[in-house]
């Protein structure tokens, strides 16, 4: 999601320093951002000159400590706590005294991440929805030590982006995924138990509940590994069997069928049109 976050920040006038693990990843991110900005301009959402101006505000680096000289760090790595912690560990010695650290995590404890840094009062959850340029909500999650000044600064960024902030308490999966992921997991159970097939389940929720996308298609869009990780956080953190991940979801992840990003999940995306895999 990092390229989407960089996109909206640069478009709103912020200077952005984007980091990733390889130059290929950074080049792909810039291509994606440029393409998405151009698409917005072609649809009259932004002016043509805004595309060039926004791209001019984005710099890239492979050297993570360089991010320490910024005012706000938004970590958007994969949903694994050890990876997120390693990023904060590497960047921490290089931070300015006033730098705010945030995580785009969709489920991991902000309090726990913050407690391992030197600035838990200047640490909070900054959870964008995907795709970032289109979705209007940002969840702001205070850790137990987050101070009011940090919250106000992050709320100011959300306001400047033209998005809406929802304040969430630091409990597993916060608000959106606390509600969304059990629904997706239940859709997978419905498939697993043979109540319906992939297409009938998704059509039922699109036409019967007026959802813009079926839950299994949505799971593919999010990434089945991310869905499983969030369900495990809910199950482990709340110790309630209603959050037990469906074995079929686990099986798909074990197969490497993670959704759109691997071309196969509950749908096969390798042809001209998605085809259900069950």
- By annotation, the residues acting in catalysis are 106, 127, 139, 177
Tokens of 139: 């969840």
184: left (phi over 0), alpha (psi -120 to 50) or beta: alpha
Strands of the chain, DSSP E: 16-19, 58-61, 72-75, 100-103, 123-128, 137-142, 164-168, 267-268, 275-276
49 Cβ neighbours under 8 A, 6+ residues apart: none
Residue 8's nearest CA partner among 132, 102, 194 is 132
Owner of token pair 């726990």: 112
35 phi, psi to nearest 5 deg? -65, -40
DSSP 212-250: SS-HHHHHHHH-HHHHHHHHHHHHHHH--GGGPPPHHHH
Omega of the bond prior to 264 within 30 degrees of 0, cis?
A: no
Q: Which residues pair with 19 in a beta bridge?
A: 61
Taking alpha carbons only, the member of 119, 75, 51, 80 closest to residue 253 is 80
For the chain, the distance separating the N- and C-terminal CA atoms, rounded to the nearest angstrom, is: 28
Distance between CA 109 and CA 97 in Å, rounded? 23
The answer to whether 202 and 139 are in contact (CB under 8 A) is no
């Amino acid at each position: 999601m990092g390229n989407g976050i960089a996109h909206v920040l640069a478009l709103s006038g912020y200077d952005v320093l984007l980091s990733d693990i390889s130059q290929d990843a950074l080049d792909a991110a810039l291509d994606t951002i440029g393409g998405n900005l151009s698409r917005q301009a072609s649809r009259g959402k932004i002016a043509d000159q805004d595309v060039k101006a926004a791209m001019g505000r984005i710099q890239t680096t492979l050297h993570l400590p360089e991010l320490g000289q910024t005012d706000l760090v938004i970590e958007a790595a994969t949903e694994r706590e050890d990876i997120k912690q390693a990023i904060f560990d590497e960047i921490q010695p290089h931070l300015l005294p006033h730098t705010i650290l945030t995580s785009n995590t969709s489920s991991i404890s902000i309090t726990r991440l913050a407690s391992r840094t030197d600035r838990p009062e200047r640490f909070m959850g900054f959870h964008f929805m995907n795709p970032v340029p289109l979705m209007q909500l940002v969840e702001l999650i205070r850790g137990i030590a987050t101070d009011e000044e940090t919250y106000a600064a992050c709320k100011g960024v959300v306001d400047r982006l033209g998005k809406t902030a929802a304040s969430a308490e630091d409990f597993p999966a916060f608000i959106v995924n606390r509600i969304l992921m059990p629904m997706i997991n239940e859709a997978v159970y419905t498939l697993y138990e043979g109540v319906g097939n992939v297409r009938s389940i998704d059509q039922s929720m699109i036409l019967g509940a007026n959802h813009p996308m079926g839950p299994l298609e949505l799971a593919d869009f999010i990434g089945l590994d991310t869905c499983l990780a969030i369900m495990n956080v809910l199950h482990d953190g709340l110790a309630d069997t209603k959050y037990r991940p469906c074995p079929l979801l686990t099986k798909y992840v074990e197969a490497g069928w993670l959704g759109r990003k691997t071309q196969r999940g509950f749908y096969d995306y390798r042809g001209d049109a998605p085809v259900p895999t069950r």
